[in-house]
Chain A
Amino acid sequence: AQRVTQPEKLLSVFKGAPVELKCNYSYSGSPELFWYVQYSRQRLQLLLRHISRESIKGFTADLNKGETSFHLKKPFAQEEDSAMYYCALGNTGGFKTIFGAGTRLFVKA
Chain B
Amino acid sequence: SAVISQKPSRDICQRGTSLTIQCQVDSQVTMMFWYRQQPGQSLTLIATANQGSEATYESGFVIDKFPISRPNLTFSTLTVSNMSPEDSSIYLCSAHGTGTMGEAFFGQGTRLTVV
Contact = CB atoms under 8 A, between A and B. Distances in A.
A101 B41 contact: yes
Contacts of B45: 96-98
How extensive is the interface on chain B, given as a class?
A: 20 to 34
B33 A102 contact: no
Contacts of A95: 30-31, 48, 96, 102
Contact of A43 (B40, B103, B106): B106
A84 to B, nearest CB: 10
Contacts of A32: 101-102
Given A86-B42, A102-B42, A97 B108 contact: no
How extensive is the interface on chain A, given as a class?
A: 20 to 34
Nearest to A46: B103
B94 interface: yes
A100 B33 contact: no
A45 B102 contact: no
A49 interface: yes
A94 interface: yes
Contacts of A49: 101-103
A96 B106 contact: no
B92 A34 contact: no
B104 A46 contact: yes
Interface string B40-55: 1111010010000000
A51 B102 CA distance: 10
Contacts of A52: 101
B9 to A, nearest CB: 11
A33 B76 CA distance: 26
A36 B9 CA distance: 21
A91 interface: yes
Nearest to A95: B31
Given A36-B104, A51-B101, 8 more contacts: A88-B104, A90-B102, A94-B31, A95-B30, A97-B33, A97-B104, A98-B45, A101-B42
